[in-house]
């Protein structure tokens, strides 16, 4: 399995290079707009692997592309990968509705795994939240997420995914509200709030509020290895998938 890593000089990209090499995948290309020319293995702390960072994504030539960049770049990378028949593992978050639709269109051309969170724990957390919500349709629900100060998108892709899960599991139409201020009382809504600071890797809490009681379900990531390992697992899973389509981490994990 020949893998290209996009965003290979970033926090996630470096770890993906490391985990991919450790898992026996053949990392053949690494793309980024910074650190061009440097060896991707050296940046990842595993020593030279003979793969320099390249800046020109049009040179993409691999079986699968793993992308952890920024939303607008990721859409362009996915366009090029789909054109060339390269399978896609997309970890980048922060897409607009329009961009997300375009990614869905591109998944008609190649097998495409799109996941706002590749950790095993978060994917189990999705299931636990869905199960709890199915019993608590009258409760008020809110989501609070916390991430490091460099994170661009807010709320996180994971929090928005949880909001979608809650909306469908609770069986009633709920607005997703990402800001609350002024004098109006709480409406028919799910509040989704982002807290940013320091080096927090990623935390998500769902609050279910009833009368006289409250349930809180929390996932905490304490380092990024869980995301990188999950993305590599997703790439390995794609080795046996030839049918174009949009797949999720739930498919990879067999949930
Ligand atoms: N799905 C998951 O499990 C998961 C987990 C963690 C982070 N993320 C997401 O992954 C993305 C990256 O996160 P990060 O913390 O590694 O960010 P980062 O800023 O450390 O890394 C992003 C890298 O992408 C590079 N880049 C920007 N434009 C590019 C382009 N056109 N071509 C190639 N490279 C380009 C940047 O130079 C940078 O090195 C974010 O959207 C984040 O929310 C997803």
- Global confidence as pTM: 0.95
Q: Which of 109, 147, 219, 233 is catalytic?
A: 147
Q: What is the pLDDT of residue 172?
A: 83
Q: Is the sign of the CA dihedral 169, 164, 239, 35 positive or negative?
A: negative
Other Cβ atoms closer than 10 A to 233 = 19
Q: What is the pLDDT of residue 98?
A: 97
Confidence label for 200 from pLDDT (cuts 50, 70 and 90): very high
Q: Which of 38, 84, 151, 177 is catalytic?
A: 151
Q: What is the pLDDT of residues 20-63, one digit of tens each?
A: 999 999 999 999 999 999 999 999 999 999 999 999 999 999 99
Q: What is the pLDDT of residues 100-127, one digit of tens each?
A: 999 999 999 999 999 999 999 999 999 9
Closest CA to 51 of 27, 35, 19: 27
- Residues 192-216 have a mean pLDDT of 98
107 lines ligand 1 (CB under 6 A): no
**Catalytic residue status for 147:** yes
* Sheet of 175-177, strand order: 175-177, 189-196, 140-147, 202-209, 214-221
Using DSSP's 3-state secondary structure scheme, residue 162 falls into: helix
Measure 131 CA to ligand 1 centroid, in angstroms: 31
Token pair 């910074």 is found at 34
Q: Are 30 and 54 in contact (CB under 8 A)?
A: yes
Q: In this model, does residue 141 exceed pLDDT 90?
A: yes
Using DSSP's 3-state secondary structure scheme, residue 105 falls into: helix
Token pair listed for 169 = 């599991």
- Compute the CA torsion angle 80, 7, 220, 123 (nearest 10 deg): 20
d(CA 82, CA 49): 26
Measure 152 CA to ligand 1 centroid, in angstroms: 10
Q: What is the pLDDT of residue 7?
A: 98
> What's the start-to-end Cα distance of the chain, in Å?
24
Token pair listed for 185 = 């009382």
Q: Please give the share of the chain, as a percent, with pLDDT higher than 90.
A: 98
Which residue segments constitute the domains of the chain, with CATH numbers given?
A: 2-118+225-253 (3.40.50.720), 120-221 (3.30.360.10)
Q: In this model, does residue 153 exceed pLDDT 90?
A: yes
Helices (H), the chain: 11-22, 40-43, 71-83, 97-106, 120-135, 157-170, 225-238, 249-253
β 2-6/64-67 pair status: parallel
Query: How distant, in Å, are the alpha carbons of 5, 16, 31, 225 from that of 51?
Result: 10, 14, 10, 21
Q: What is the pLDDT of residue 39?
A: 98
d(CA 62, CA 32): 16
- Residues 130-148 have a mean pLDDT of 97
6 lines ligand 1 (CB under 6 A): yes
d(CA 4, CA 95): 21
Q: In this model, does residue 173 exceed pLDDT 90?
A: no
- Residues 1-15 have a mean pLDDT of 98
Q: State the average pLDDT for the chain.
A: 97
d(CA 90, CA 81): 11
Q: What is the pLDDT of residue 204?
A: 98
Q: What is the pLDDT of residue 171?
A: 84
């Amino acid at each position: 399995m020949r893998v290209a890593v996009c965003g290979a000089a970033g926090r996630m990209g470096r770890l993906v290079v490391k985990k991919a090499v450790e898992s026996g995948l053949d990392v053949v290309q690494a793309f980024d707009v910074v650190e061009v020319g440097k060896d991707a293995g050296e940046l990842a702390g595993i020593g030279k692997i003979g793969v320099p960072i390249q800046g020109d994504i049009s040179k993409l030539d691999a079986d699968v592309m793993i992308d952890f960049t920024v939303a607008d770049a990721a859409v362009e990378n996915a366009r090029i990968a789909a054109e060339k028949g390269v399978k896609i593992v997309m970890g980048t978050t922060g897409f607009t509705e329009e961009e997300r639709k375009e990614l869905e269109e591109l998944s008609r051309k190649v097998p495409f795994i799109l996941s706002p969170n590749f950790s095993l724990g978060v994917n189990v957390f999705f299931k636990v939240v869905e199960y709890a919500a199915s019993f608590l349709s009258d409760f008020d629900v809110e989501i609070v997420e916390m991430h490091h100060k460099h994170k661009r998108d807010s709320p996180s892709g994971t929090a928005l995914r949880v909001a979608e899960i809650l909306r469908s599991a609770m069986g009633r139409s709920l607005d997703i509200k990402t800001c609350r201020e002024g004098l109006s009382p709480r409406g028919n809504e799910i509040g989704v709030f982002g807290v940013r600071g320091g080096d927090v890797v990623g935390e998500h809490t769902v609050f279910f509020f009833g009368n006289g009681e409250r349930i809180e379900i929390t996932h905490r990531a304490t380092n990024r290895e869980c995301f990188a390992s999950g993305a590599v697992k997703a790439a390995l899973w794609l080795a046996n998938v030839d049918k174009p389509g949009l797949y999720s981490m739930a498919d990879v994990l067999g949930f």
